[in-house]
């Protein structure tokens, strides 16, 4: 009996990561595989957003600096002409309204209508830009919220099987208990590994989107002020 207990304990002395995974229940293995894929997916989204959001804000600032320094063609630019950044596309939406309005002789009422249409067009353009920039954040939110619970499911399942194994073998020695419990707890750890970066970067990117939205809104209001003056001058002429 003693030699059997020693043999049982020796069979569970290898607690390396690979050994734990290979010895895990098939359901636990499936949970670990899912969490691994979720973690890889979240890091792919994080990498893409770090690159795209940073570049988007930088290019938008560069366009604004060029606009206010007079290096752009002002409202006389042709519709659709502009840079590959959010601010230039927002500006182009106002430029299209101005281009259409120049074909008619503007009265004061028509000048106000031009500004109103430009404001709506720029607001819609800002919303489109924020929507495109925010693509993928839902994935991070889902992974961040669901991964701990998926890992917990793997842990509960693994512990349940561990106790069933103990009851079947009628052996409560540390060698019998430690291995299955470690396998089960590893699922919770994997859930946290997948969730924590997703939550952290989701909050970061949400803040970056808010800053980008504020930046584009402020730029839109400044553009509308200039457009309003231009429309009023055209109406007086």
By three-state DSSP, how is residue 229 classified?
A: helix
Is 12 within the bounds of a domain?
A: no
Is 158 within the bounds of a domain?
A: yes
Cα(68)–Cα(222) distance, integer angstroms: 10
Residue 133 has pLDDT above 60, yes or no: yes
| pLDDT tens digits, 7-50 | 444 444 555 667 666 766 788 888 889 999 999 999 999 999 99
Is 163 within the bounds of a domain?
A: yes
Choice between 105 and 30, residue whose per-residue pLDDT is larger? 30
Range from 21-35, 137-151, 169-183 that averages highest in pLDDT: 137-151
Kindly indicate the confidence band of residue 77, based on its pLDDT and cuts at 50, 70 and 90.
Answer: very low
State how many domains the chain has: 1
Buried b (16+ CB within 10 A) or exposed e, 193-220: ebbebbbebbeebeebbeebbebbeebb
Residue 132 has pLDDT above 90, yes or no: no
Cα(89)–Cα(80) distance, integer angstroms: 8
Check residue 12 and give its pLDDT: 45
Distance in angstroms between the alpha carbons of the first and the last residue of the chain: 107
Is 9 within the bounds of a domain?
A: no
Kindly indicate the confidence band of residue 168, based on its pLDDT and cuts at 50, 70 and 90.
Answer: confident
Residue (of 32, 4, 2, 34) closest to 182 by Cα position = 32
Check residue 75 and give its pLDDT: 47
Check residue 196 and give its pLDDT: 96
Give the residue-averaged pLDDT of 108-130: 79
Choice between 132 and 79, residue whose per-residue pLDDT is larger? 132
Is 17 within the bounds of a domain?
A: no
In degrees, to the nearest 5, what angle opens at C-alpha 218 toward C-alphas 216 and 219?
60
Domain extent, residue 122, equals 26-236
Cα(83)–Cα(95) distance, integer angstroms: 13
Residue 77: phi and psi, rounded to 5, are -65, 150
Is 8 within the bounds of a domain?
A: no
Is 5 within the bounds of a domain?
A: no
Cα(237)–Cα(229) distance, integer angstroms: 12
Is 196 within the bounds of a domain?
A: yes
Residue 39 near residue 194, CB atoms below 8 Å = yes
Choice between 20 and 197, residue whose per-residue pLDDT is larger? 197
Helices (H) and strands (E) in the chain, counts: 7, 0
């Amino acid at each position: 009996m003693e030699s059997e207990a020693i043999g049982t304990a020796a069979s569970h002395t290898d607690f390396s990561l690979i050994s734990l995974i290979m010895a895990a229940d098939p359901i636990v293995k499936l949970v670990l595989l899912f969490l691994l894929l979720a973690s890889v997916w979240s890091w792919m989204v994080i990498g893409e957003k770090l690159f795209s959001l940073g570049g988007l804000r930088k290019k938008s600032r560069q366009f604004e600096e060029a606009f206010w320094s007079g290096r752009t063609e002002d409202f006389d630019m042709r519709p659709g002409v502009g840079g590959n950044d959010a601010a230039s596309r927002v500006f182009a939406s106002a430029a299209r309204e101005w281009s259409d309005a120049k074909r008619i002789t503007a009265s004061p009422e028509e000048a106000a209508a031009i500004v109103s249409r430009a404001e709506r067009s720029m607001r819609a353009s800002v919303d489109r830009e924020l929507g495109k920039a925010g693509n993928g954040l839902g994935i991070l939110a889902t992974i961040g919220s669901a991964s701990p619970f998926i890992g917990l499911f793997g842990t509960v399942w693994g512990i349940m099987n561990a106790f069933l194994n103990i009851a079947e073998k009628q052996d409560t020695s540390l060698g019998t208990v430690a291995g299955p419990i470690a396998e089960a707890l590893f699922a919770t750890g994997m859930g946290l590994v997948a969730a924590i970066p997703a939550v952290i970067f989701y909050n970061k990117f949400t803040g970056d989107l808010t800053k980008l939205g504020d930046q584009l809104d402020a730029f839109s209001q400044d553009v509308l002020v200039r457009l309003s003056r231009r429309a009023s001058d055209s109406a007086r002429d």
